[in-house]
Structure 1
Amino acid sequence: MPISNGQTLVAPVRLAIVGCGQRGKIYASYALNSPERCTIVAIAEPRPQTRKQFAERFALPAHAVFESWEALLAAKTENGERIADAVVVAVRDTMHYAVVSAFAQEGFDILCEKPMATSVSDCIKMADAVNKAGCIFGCGHVMRYSPYVQEISEIVFSKQLGELVNVVHIEPVGYFHFAHSYVRGNWGNEKESSFSLMTKSCHDIDLLCHWFKGQTPVRVSSFGSLSHFRKAGKPAKAGDATRCLACPAEKECAYSAKKIYLDPVQQGNIGWPVDTFVDGIPDIENVTEALNTTPYGLCVYESNNDVVDHQVVNLEFSNGATASFTMVAFTSLICQRQTRMHFTNGEIVGDGLSYTVTNFSTMETKQYTPTNLGGHGGGDLGISEAFVRAVAERKQEVLMTDVNEVLKSHLTVFAAEKSRKDGAVVDCAQFEKEMRQDL
């Protein structure tokens, strides 16, 4: 049924999903819960079982199912009508620029999973392509769309606690999450993907830039290293073993692939993280095969990883305000951000689920626990809803950002990584100028 925007009836937004992995599935699920707002009309996915299951889930006809994004783009019209109104780009990070720029050129609105791209040049060129096309653009910085962050942001922007002067923000990645994604997984090697501050924590730099809206980062410094997940950290008992299923130290190893993947499947858990690396529904047989043949069964001390497992970033904004950010692998919490915000007349302290607000004038402290609506504290649902509404109403502002602001936060991440590698404070404006000159 068409939905009303208050004046006219609007047909459901037609979405094409490019990449049917974990993130593609999450964004697409909004169509199942809100069919009056959007519908999935086409997909592109190279893995046969994943493609088949996705097509069945959304009852897609064969002519709407493609093995590659290029094939979907080539079939961009059907019977003279555009095959979709918008595309969700959830392919490998290194492919984002090619896919987004191609669909933007053809006039599709686009929701691109974060990061927007893995090089400065591709980020800049993507922003140029989107601006030239004039399409609606969203980036998968889902944190800012959760009820938790939106409530805090409303307090920040209202100035009820005065000016925001300083933020201390921590991203506890989670010990086995880091091993899964940033040691064994797709984001473990910088040349094959990007550095971990970009692939994991561009969320968080985006949040800091969002909270200091109206100000720009002027200087950044950063420190960090790969301290543990390397051969020197391997237990002596492991000997020459390179795979967990044949390792004498497996039982006492915190990062055992058997503990992280196979044991949960035997207990009936077939969701994340094990569903990210098998084609089809995880079971004991295909997971065991994967642990014997793919990087997900490798010893974390024998893997092809080189990205840092802990990093700090210090930011100075144009009004003199400051922020510090820490990303660390070695935590029991998984992605449950910890934040302290210091204002001229108050303080906010949050743990990702609830937060307290202290007003210095009234000496009152109140605690708030926003509704948690699922993945990323409701951010997955929030960004899906915002993107669909932005497309339906033709209003970029519904997304609370645009491609130029997204680019600015990404450039700040690149500047931070340059600081870490060079051991020097980086001037953000000068960094951007140099990067644009290099193009």
Structure 2
Amino acid sequence: MTIIDTEPTRHGTPLRRPLTLAVAGAGARGTAYADLAARRPDSCTVVAVAEPRERARRSFAERHRIDPAKVFDSWRDLAEAPRIADAVVVALLDEQHVEAALAFIERGYDLLLEKPMATTEEGCRRISEAAELAGVAVQICHVMRHTTYTRALKAELARDAIGEIISVEHLEPVGYYHFAHSFVRGNWRRQDETSSVLLTKSCHDLDWLNHVISRAPRRVASFGSLTHFRPENRPPGAADRCLDCAVESSCPFSAERLYRTGLREGGTKQYFANVITGGVLTEDAVTEALATGPYGRCVYACDNDVADHQVVSIEYDGGVTASFTLSAFTPLENRHTKIFGTRGQLTGDGRFLEIYDFRTERRTVIDTSRDGSAAAEGHAGGDQALMDDFIDALTAGRPDRITAHLQDTLDGHRLVFAAEHSRREGGVVEVRTQSPANQARTQPGG
């Protein structure tokens, strides 16, 4: 086979040709990012894939018309081959991020790295230091930074719509059936196999709070536990699997109802049905998955151990405070935020912003959606905006389009790890932050 090394992208200099992109991990996120990149054929071409699952690998390669010589069944094979792309999307299992990122960085690839950056602080630090030493660009997929909603919110804060920020309340309503799918029955149910739910689900949110507040976090305390999805809460008469359960019809967490509804409704429930059947959306495929796979288990008879609710209290430089709540026990809906300022209050739900002005006592509502779509669709446009920003940063010589300096991302992950330490061990934990941007923002007038 013939594989030709490419020249590294020159940050700050236009590329003058389409960016070439390889994808390591053709699961839901890797496939989504590749499809979004493919919407811009004049700017980006998907040229390689590494994926261990034969069906997913073949489907991905056919969809993007990839040369068979550039289709790999292991990310290691892709990393060890002569360099065949400018950048790599790393959308592997969380625990593989460090080894894979370091290997691709060593080969000179720029990276679009799915969150979390790594499952340990040491792993995050190693990636950050390696990227800086190699001079490659690394964008962490904190899609919430890239939405039109967040950009509009930041613009309102910048124009002093509510004065100086004093405190923030932020809620992530995970959704009862989403939590049951991913964090009770699914891949992110155990800390020893992945990490805490605060990292795997909500590192987005703590990064977003840092981004919005624009000050360095200094102290954190957190509380939370696995309270409900435990064997002692199993209803009388419940079976180990929903297919065999006499009380299944009265259980809000019924796997049978969730995945069979997904066959008909579309949206998130259909996405989950697609996950458990490997893309075969039929009644027989769902029945087989419920009978034999992990997603058919009773939520009270799984091996899960991650917290099903958690609160995080943060103190930032200058005395600004923030509280974050993660809960499994909600409808599946978008985040809710209230920002309390010296001149007013800002309330947001991922699409609409409401500004209440103390002086005029007027409320102004801003619809940040460009097309009237729901906030949950494509992370409110954040997925597409993230990919657009990454492509533009590398092809147009616009490094400013990568919104988070790696040190900012590292600081956000450090906040997560400190909060988890507080939750497990108790007490208030000091947060070590080193981002030059954070330090600059905490100076008087910053």
Q: Shared fold (TM-score greater than 0.5)? A: yes
| 1:101 Cα offset (Å) | 1.0
For the pair 1:72 / 2:78, whether they are aligned, the reply is yes
Q: C-alpha deviations, 1:36-60, integer Å up to 9, x for none?
A: 2211110111111111111111111
Using the alignment, how far apart are the partners of 1:285 and 1:113 within structure 2?
A: 33
Which residues of 2 match residues 356-367 of structure 1 at below 5 A? 356-367=354-365
| 1:365 Cα offset (Å) | 1.8
Letter in structure 2 aligned against 1:134: G
Corresponding residue for residue 108 of structure 2: 107
Q: Is the 8 A contact 2:221 2:422 kept in 1?
A: yes
SS at structure 1 position matched to 2:319 = coil
| 1:170 Cα offset (Å) | 0.3
Corresponding residue for residue 116 of structure 1: 117
Using the alignment, how far apart are the partners of 1:389 and 1:69 within structure 2?
A: 25
Which residues of 2 match residues 24-63 of structure 1 at below 5 A? 24-63=30-69
| 1:268 Cα offset (Å) | 6.9
Corresponding residue for residue 348 of structure 2: 350
Which of 383, 389, 394 in structure 2 is aligned with 1:391?
394
Using the alignment, how far apart are the partners of 1:262 and 1:402 within structure 2?
A: 43
Q: C-alpha deviations, 1:78-104, integer Å up to 9, x for none?
A: xxxxx1110101111111111111101
Provide the TM-score with structure 1 as the length reference: 0.91
SS at structure 1 position matched to 2:380 = helix
Which stretch has the larger CA shift, 387-396 or 375-384? 387-396
Using the alignment, how far apart are the partners of 1:267 and 1:118 within structure 2?
A: 34
Letter in structure 2 aligned against 1:159: D
Q: Is the 8 A contact 1:48 1:279 kept in 2?
A: no
Using the alignment, how far apart are the partners of 2:103 and 2:282 within structure 1?
A: 37
Corresponding residue for residue 146 of structure 1: 147
Q: Is the 8 A contact 1:136 1:390 kept in 2?
A: no
Provide the TM-score with structure 2 as the length reference: 0.89
Corresponding residue for residue 437 of structure 1: none
Letter in structure 2 aligned against 1:327: L
Corresponding residue for residue 224 of structure 1: 224
SS at structure 1 position matched to 2:307 = coil
Using the alignment, how far apart are the partners of 2:266 and 2:202 within structure 1?
A: 31
| 1:160 Cα offset (Å) | 3.9
For the pair 1:17 / 2:23, whether they are aligned, the reply is yes
Tell me the matched-pair count.
417
SS at structure 1 position matched to 2:379 = helix
Q: C-alpha deviations, 1:103-143, integer Å up to 9, x for none?
A: 01111010111100111111111111111111111111111
Using the alignment, how far apart are the partners of 2:295 and 2:242 within structure 1?
A: 9
| 1:279 Cα offset (Å) | 3.1
| 1:394 Cα offset (Å) | 3.9
Which of 389, 414, 419 in structure 2 is aligned with 1:416?
419
* CA 1:221–1:267: 2 relative to 1, 3 Å: closer
Aligned-residue Cα RMSD (Å) equals: 2.0
Q: Is the 8 A contact 1:167 1:322 kept in 2?
A: yes
Which residues of 2 match residues 157-306 of structure 1 at below 5 A? 157-213=158-214, 215-238=215-238, 241-265=239-263, 271-306=270-305
Q: C-alpha deviations, 1:300-320, integer Å up to 9, x for none?
A: 111110000000000000111
Using the alignment, how far apart are the partners of 2:412 and 2:365 within structure 1?
A: 30
Using the alignment, how far apart are the partners of 2:49 and 2:433 within structure 1?
A: 41
Using the alignment, how far apart are the partners of 2:347 and 2:266 within structure 1?
A: 37
Corresponding residue for residue 384 of structure 2: 381
| 1:388 Cα offset (Å) | 1.0
Q: Is the 8 A contact 1:189 1:305 kept in 2?
A: yes
| 1:382 Cα offset (Å) | 1.1
Corresponding residue for residue 436 of structure 1: none
Using the alignment, how far apart are the partners of 1:391 and 1:380 within structure 2?
A: 17
* CA 1:58–1:233: 2 relative to 1, 3 Å: same
Q: Is the 8 A contact 2:264 2:270 kept in 1?
A: no
Using the alignment, how far apart are the partners of 1:267 and 1:367 within structure 2?
A: 31
Letter in structure 2 aligned against 1:326: T
Runs of 4 or more, structure 1, over 4 Å off, are: 266-270
Using the alignment, how far apart are the partners of 1:9 and 1:114 within structure 2?
A: 27
Using the alignment, how far apart are the partners of 1:203 and 1:8 within structure 2?
A: 30
Using the alignment, how far apart are the partners of 2:222 and 2:132 within structure 1?
A: 31
SS at structure 1 position matched to 2:104 = helix
Unaligned stretches of 5+ residues in structure 1: 1-6, 78-82, 433-439
Which stretch has the larger CA shift, 124-133 or 407-416? 124-133
Q: C-alpha deviations, 1:332-355, integer Å up to 9, x for none?
A: 133x00000011112111122211
Identity of aligned residues (%): 42
Unaligned stretches of 5+ residues in structure 2: 1-12, 436-446
Letter in structure 1 aligned against 2:217: P
